[in-house]
Each structure stands twice: as structure tokens, then as C-alpha cells.
């Protein structure tokens, strides 16, 4: 049965690459790579699971495509392979963890689990994390609460890529947030969204395709909307950054309410970085005088909330089923045959990819081959000539 693409991402994959890999194979490969760089087996397993889960859900930008970035940061010392994770603050319902400069996923899973433990006892638990790194998809952590029948929340600040409304310099990350709500027959509601209009990866796709971007995605160095993706990328990645970047959700200025996306991005910055005492705004991902990368220092926030803190969870699940159903069954716009709810597409792609394997984009495939060779990790399935 051929792989049926459900979204833009996977469609591009299919065109560019037919190699499908089983999630287990991919997970084991990530574990081997990370362990070879000194990461403990436990931390490597957690990190691999977060990456492969992104691929399973079709969020390819946050999957194994990030592995070489993680490897690069471990090699450069920006990420500590064996960090000392410490609980530096605690109350019955809240806590702050210091990630010790290690990989994002291990400390994030610890933090989310601590929030859940606190919620089990006190109905709500909230944990902030500082001194951490890129944590992958925000929805991985919020969804951990779903397994316990709770509502989960997660947010993180990140590398600066987004200009404030009326600004011309990137001062905020794409700062994603995620809310995960356990449902009944109609499935869960899992919102996982960057607070920018699009991730930088989408600008890169348009650049590769030589296409103009829609208005509202990014600005030039003068803070004016541009439809030219290569100019935006050039400005961001050149030696001396000179201005321009992604726009907040809602686009430019106030006309289409870009100030709301900007406000959301700052809200995420405050709860994920400032509450934890993490680095924030353009202080994240610092470098020393020689340009050597120092620990990123970013922060995360995790929350868990028991539904039976407010009402009977069975009645709640029935209402959620009905709400999702009403939205999906409501009249469609001309030319559209389906209305989705958050997390629905991802859950369908997950089913397909669990069955048919994860399609590897040509570029990602090449990167993984390079990693396997450089770090001498046996992975015959990555090399077509060796493939059975």
C-alpha cells in the first residue's frame, strides 16, 4: 500500500524520496549516535523518542532532521552530554529544574512528569526549566498528561528569529506552545503551534522552490514585509546580521493583528524563560569573544491539570467529543471537503507512518548517512546499495 500524503510536508517527502524507515530502526539509530557522543542510554532513548515521534506525526522539521544539529551542539560543547539536572526550587504544586546545559528532551520529560506527579496530589502541577536546549515538539510533553487523563501544557523560548511588531530586528524565538486535552471517541485535542506565522523551515522550502512567499511571513532588513525568501534567509544567516526575520502570527503591523502573535510570543518568553530564570530574548544562544558557542540557556514551562478538579471527567469527555464533532461536521467553505481539529491530521499521519514507515527526505537521508559514517554507527538500511 503506497504512503498517502496528508499534508504539504509529507507530499514533498514523497516526491523527493521513497525510502521508508521503521520508527524502531530510526529510534535505535538515534540512540546509538547520541550514546557515541557520551549521552547516557536513558537520555539518548528519551531524546530519540521525542525526535522520532515528531517524524511519526509528520512534523518532519522537528524529527530526525534535527539529529545532526544535536550532534553538532554536543560536539561543540554547547550541549553538555552528561548534564547534572537539579531541582533548584520547589513547592507542593510548582518547581524549577536546572537542565545543566544538557539536551532538551530528558530534562523536559522529567519536568513534565514532575508536574503530573504534583497534579495527581494537588490537581495542578507546574514546572519551569532553565539552562536547557532545543526540546523538539512542544506537543510531546503536553501529550504525556493525556496518558494520565489530564490536560497538559508546554511552552518554550527558542533561538531568536522573530521581529516584534513595528521592529526590524529579531528579538524573539518562534516560541511554540502546546495544549493537550484528553478526549473520548473523537480523539484528543492537541494544539501545538509556533507563535510566528510560519517556522523558518517553510521559508527555506519556498527558497528551494524559487517561489514567492505569501505576505505576512517575514520582513526585510528594514522591517517591511517581503515575499523574497532567499533575501530573508541571507539576512538571518549572514556573518553580520543586519535585520529582518519572521513575522509573528497575524503578520505585519496591526492591520491583520500581528501584534497578537507578538504578544503571544512574549507571553511564552515570560512563562518559559523568565519564570525559570533562563536566558531570554537576544540573550539566548550566546557566544564568547572568539565566537565559540556557549550553552544556549533557554527555558521551558510544563503544566498538568486534572479535569476532576472542575467536573466529572466522563461528562467532560462527552462534551469534548460533541464539540470536536460539531466543528468537523459544520458546513465547509467552497472547495474544502474537510474541517480538522488540532492534532487530528497528526494522529492520522501517525497511524499511517507506524504502519508504512517514516519517509526520509533526501537531505535528511544524506545527513544521517554522513553521521553514520563519521561516528561509525552501523546502519546498512541507510545505504541503498546495501538495502535488502
Site for its own copies in 241-270 (CB under 8 A): 243, 249-251, 255-257, 259-261, 263-264, 266-267, 269-270
Judged by beta carbon, residue 32 or residue 171, the one nearer its own copies is 171
Strand, helix or coil for residue 77: coil
Measured from the CB atom, the residue of 44 and 150 that comes closer to its own copies is 150
* Cα–Cα distance measured from residue 224 to residue 220, given in angstroms and rounded to the nearest whole number: 5
103 versus 128: smaller Cβ distance to its own copies: 128
With contacts defined by CB under 8 A, name the span among 25-33, 38-46, 63-71, 185-193 that binds its own copies. 185-193
Closer residue to its own copies (CB): 338 or 355: 338
Site string for its own copies, 291-310 (x = CB under 8 A): --------------xxx-xx
Residue closer to its own copies by CB (options 169, 234) is: 169
CB of 148 to its own copies, least distance (A): 16
| Cα–Cα distance for residue pair 145/180, rounded to 1 Å | 8
CA triplet 269, 254, 250: central angle to 5 degrees?
60
Any residues with CB less than 8 A from the CB of 49 and at least 6 apart, and which?
27, 105
CB of 99 to its own copies, least distance (A): 14
Q: Do the Cβ atoms of 332 and 32 come closer than 8 Å?
A: no
**Which position among 4, 87, 166, 286 is part of the footprint of its own copies (CB under 8 A)?**
166
Q: Between residues 92 and 378, which has the closer beta carbon with respect to its own copies?
A: 92
Closest by alpha carbon to 246, among 264, 260, 262?
A: 262
Name the packing angle between helices 104-122 and 41-56 (round to 10°).
Answer: 90
Q: Is 110 in the site for its own copies (CB under 8 A)?
A: no
187 near its own copies, judged by CB under 8 A: no
**Measured from the CB atom, is 80 or 151 closer to its own copies?**
151
The secondary element (H helix, E strand) that includes residue 263 is helix 258-269
Pick the piece of the chain touching its own copies (CB under 8 A) from 15-23, 51-59, 61-69, 218-226: 218-226
Residue 181 interacting with its own copies (CB under 8 A): yes
- Per CB under 8 A, the list member of 25, 169, 234, 350 interacting with its own copies is 169
Site for its own copies in 25-84 (CB under 8 A): none
Q: List Cβ neighbours of 132 (8 Å cut-off, separation of 6 or more).
A: 99, 101, 102, 104, 107, 108, 278, 296, 297, 298, 299, 300
Instruction: Using alpha carbons only, give the angle 124, 130, 134 rounded to the nearest 5 degrees.
Output: 100
243, with CB counted inside 10 A (0-12, 13-18, 19+), is middle
- Minimum CB distance to its own copies smaller for 5 or for 277: 277
Shorter beta-carbon distance to its own copies: residue 67 or 95: 95
Min CB(218)–its own copies separation in Å? 12
Residue 89 C-beta: closest distance to its own copies, Å: 6
Smallest gap from Cβ 355 to its own copies, in A, equals 25
Cβ atoms of 207 and 228 closer than 8 Å:
no
Which has the closest alpha carbon to 26: 357, 356, 286, 320? 357
Q: In 10 A of CB 42, how many CB atoms?
A: 10
Per-position x/- string for 221-240, each x denoting binding to its own copies as judged by CB under 8 A, each - no binding: -xxx----------------
Instruction: Select from 102-110, 133-141, 278-286, 364-372 the region that touches its own copies (CB under 8 A).
Output: 278-286
The interface mask with its own copies, positions 132-151, x = CB under 8 A, is -------------------x
Q: Which of 201, 315, 351, 370 binds its own copies (CB under 8 A)?
A: 315
- Provide, rounded to whole angstroms, the least separation between the CB of residue 54 and its own copies: 18
Tell me the three cell numbers of residue 239: 556573518
- Strands 218-219 and 245-246 come out as antiparallel
Residue 125 corresponds to which cell in the numbers above?
502541577
> Within 13 Å and on the Cβ side, how many CA atoms surround 48?
20
Grid coordinates representing 195 are 507563535
Residues 329-388 that bind its own copies (CB under 8 A): 330-334, 336, 338-342
Amino acid at each position: 500500500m503506497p504512503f498517502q500524503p496528508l499534508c504539504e510536508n509529507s507530499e514533498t517527502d514523497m516526491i523527493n524520496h521513497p525510502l521508508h524507515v521503521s520508527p524502531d530502526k530510526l529510534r535505535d539509530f538515534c540512540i546509538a549516535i547520541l550514546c557515541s557522543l557520551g549521552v547516557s542510554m536513558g537520555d539518548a532513548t528519551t531524546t530519540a523518542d521525542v525526535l522520532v515521534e515528531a517524524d511519526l506525526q509528520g512534523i518532519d522539521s522537528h524529527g530526525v532532521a534535527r539529529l545532526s544539529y544535536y550532534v553538532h551542539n554536543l560536539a561543540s560543547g554547547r550541549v553538555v552530554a552528561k548534564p547534572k539536572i537539579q531541582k533548584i526550587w520547589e513547592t507542593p504544586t510548582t518547581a524549577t529544574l536546572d537542565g545543566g546545559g544538557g539536551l532538551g528532551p530528558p530534562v523536559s520529560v522529567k519536568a513534565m512528569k514532575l508536574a503530573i506527579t504534583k497534579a495527581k496530589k494537588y490537581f495542578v502541577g507546574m514546572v519551569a526549566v532553565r539552562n536547557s536546549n532545543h526540546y523538539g515538539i512542544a506537543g510531546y510533553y503536553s501529550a504525556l498528561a493525556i496518558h494520565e487523563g489530564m490536560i497538559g501544557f508546554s511552552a518554550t523560548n527558542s533561538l531568536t528569529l522573530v521581529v516584534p511588531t513595528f521592529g526590524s530586528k529579531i528579538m524573539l524565538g518562534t516560541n511554540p506552545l502546546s495544549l493537550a486535552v484528553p478526549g473520548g471517541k473523537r480523539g484528543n485535542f492537541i494544539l501545538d503551534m509556533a507563535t510566528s506565522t510560519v517556522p523558518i523551515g517553510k521559508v527555506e522550502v519556498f527558497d528551494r522552490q524559487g517561489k514567492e512567499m505569501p505576505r505576512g511571513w517575514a520582513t526585510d532588513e528594514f522591517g517591511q514585509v517581503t515575499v523574497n525568501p532567499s533575501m530573508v534567509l541571507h539576512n538571518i544567516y549572514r556573518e553580520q546580521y543586519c535585520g529582518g526575520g519572521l513575522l509573528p502570527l497575524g503578520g505585519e503591523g496591526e492591520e491583520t493583528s500581528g501584534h497578537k502573535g507578538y504578544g503571544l510570543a512574549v507571553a511564552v518568553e515570560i512563562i518559559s524563560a523568565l519564570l525559570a530564570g533562563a536566558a531570554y530574548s537576544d540573550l539566548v544562544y550566546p557566544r564568547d569573544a572568539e565566537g565559540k558557542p556557549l550553552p544556549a540557556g533557554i527555558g521551558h514551562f510544563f503544566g498538568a491539570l486534572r479535569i476532576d478538579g472542575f467536573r466529572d471527567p466522563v461528562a467532560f469527555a462527552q462534551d469534548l467529543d460533541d464539540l470536536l464533532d460539531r466543528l468537523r461536521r459544520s458546513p465547509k467553505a467552497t472547495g474544502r471537503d474537510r474541517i480538522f481539529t488540532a492534532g487530528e491530521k497528526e494522529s492520522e499521519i501517525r497511524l499511517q507512518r507506524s504502519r508504512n514507515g517514516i519517509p526520509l527526505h533526501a537531505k535528511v537521508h544524506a545527513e544521517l548517512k554522513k553521521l553514520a559514517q563519521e561516528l561509525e554507527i552501523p546502519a546498512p538500511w541507510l545505504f541503498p546499495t546495501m538495502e535488502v
